Amino acid sequence: MEKQLIVRLKSGHEISFVPNEVRLEKSFVDVSALLNDNPFPLLIHFTHELLVSNLFLSKVPDCVLLHLKENFEPKSASFCVNRDEGDFTLQSQCTFVLLIPFPIPFQLKEIQTIYSKSKN
């Protein structure tokens, strides 16, 4: 069974992602290292009980981070666009963070809902 995350747009289109899901009990993650074994689209599932998680994004290819609640309802989004050497860290308060590579196929304001379903 593979998990699908489906982005339903206001236009009626639905775009499906089968993410590589990584469950993390720690609150700090080096995303670049994570991507070596888990390419885009990447779903990070934080299972710790702290208020925020820290995502170290230096050297991560350009992407969008969708911050999702436990029921995958979108809460916010961040753009990761690396242009220079240097540290780039982001905080998230959400259980799930979905990373989709640039260019993304929709405008953020066009998202109606995001839901999950399993498929054989």
Partner 1 sequence: MSQTDNNDIGASLSPESIARGHGQFPYVIVRMHYAIYMQMPIHFTSVKTEGLKGIIVHSQSENNCNNTERLLEVTAKYKQDLDAKNNRNHRICLVIEKDQAYYFEEGEIRFNTSIPSGGTLVNSNKQVIAMAQSHFIQQ
Chain residues that interact with partner 1, rule: CB under 8 A: 6, 13-18, 39-41, 100-101, 103-107, 110
CB of 39 to partner 1, least distance (A): 6
What's the angle, vertex CA 108, arms to CA 105 and CA 110, rounded to 5? 85
* Closest listed residue to residue 6, CA positions, set 93, 106, 109: 106
Q: Which is nearer to partner 1, 34 or 100 (CB)?
A: 100
Q: Which is nearer to partner 1, 35 or 53 (CB)?
A: 35
- Nearest-angstrom CA–CA distance, 44 and 8: 20
Q: Which is nearer to partner 1, 57 or 99 (CB)?
A: 99
